[in-house]
Structure 1
Amino acid sequence: MNIHIAGYSISSNYKKTKLFYSKGAYITNACKCNYCKNYCLACDYLDLSTKILFRSFGINPKKEAEVWHLFEDDDWLSPL
């Protein structure tokens, strides 16, 4: 399968990708942190075009392999 997006051509094997994701577990099965829980919840609110894109590749975004949070910084909203 080839998909063309913004001047890029992306090739994928839909059947192999779908099979790979069918055997995977939701990220929250392995990790119970709030970031992973929030990620899975946020997947329910993806816009339709994003959901269609994931489906066209055979990807289940809730079965992501890794989600992480870089850091927290309460000062990031402070003016310079």
Structure 2
Amino acid sequence: MKQMKIGDWNLEVDVEKTKDFYQAYHQITESCDCIFCKNFVSAIELIPKPVLDFFRSLGIDPTKEGEVSEYCEIKDGMHLYGGFFHIVGELISGPDCWIETSEEVSHLATNNMIEINGFKFGFTNGVRSLPDGFPNPTLQLEFEGTIPWALKESYK
């Protein structure tokens, strides 16, 4: 495990174990064939390099494993996406990007996130939808950002 300081967070991350898991795992589009997931995978190489570098610095292949949702078209073919990816690691200190507002309701606190080239990122210990075989300990990286429509086929 390697200690990392990212924004207000202190993390311990095993980048190699994370990378090994993603290398062996299938693409998002193998478990979901919706047009929005297909677009996300197709558009990955079109997002800003610093965003890709950030994912990769944590061992994440953003075309694999994660939970991805398209929220809406913003403008000029740009679409707002959000979701999360898993990392082998622990949140040592810093704000959880999810705030509990009641016993049953929580929300993503975007003020507890950092921005990299228009994408927002935050960390949480509230791990959801962990795939079988993902190594422990597990940390979740939440993201939100806009990506272009990269497919020839329309979503409409």
Using structure 2 for the length normalisation, give the TM-score.
Answer: 0.41
CA–CA distance in structure 1, aligned partners of residues 11 and 55 of structure 2: 13
Shift of 1:10: 2.5
CA–CA distance in structure 1, aligned partners of residues 37 and 67 of structure 2: 9
Tell whether 2:30 aligns with 1:29. yes
**Residue 44 of structure 1 corresponds to which residue in structure 2?**
45
CA–CA distance in structure 2, aligned partners of residues 70 and 57 of structure 1: 25
Q: CA RMSD in A?
A: 1.9
Shift of 1:64: 3.2
Say if 1:70 and 1:7 are closer, same or farther in 2 by CA, change over 3 A: closer
Say if 1:54 and 1:70 are closer, same or farther in 2 by CA, change over 3 A: closer
Which has more radius of gyration? 1
CA–CA distance in structure 2, aligned partners of residues 47 and 10 of structure 1: 24
CA–CA distance in structure 1, aligned partners of residues 49 and 69 of structure 2: 24
Give unmatched runs, 5+ long, in structure 1.
72-80
What amino acid is the match of 1:62? T
Using structure 1 for the length normalisation, give the TM-score.
Answer: 0.72
Residue pairs, 1:1-80, within 5 angstroms: 1-69=2-70
Higher helix share: 1
What amino acid is the match of 2:8? G
What amino acid is the match of 2:24? K
Paired positions, count: 71
**Residue 87 of structure 2 corresponds to which residue in structure 1?**
none
CA–CA distance in structure 2, aligned partners of residues 13 and 59 of structure 1: 11
What amino acid is the match of 1:25? H
What amino acid is the match of 2:35? N
Give unmatched runs, 5+ long, in structure 2.
73-156
CA–CA distance in structure 1, aligned partners of residues 51 and 23 of structure 2: 19
Higher strand share: 2
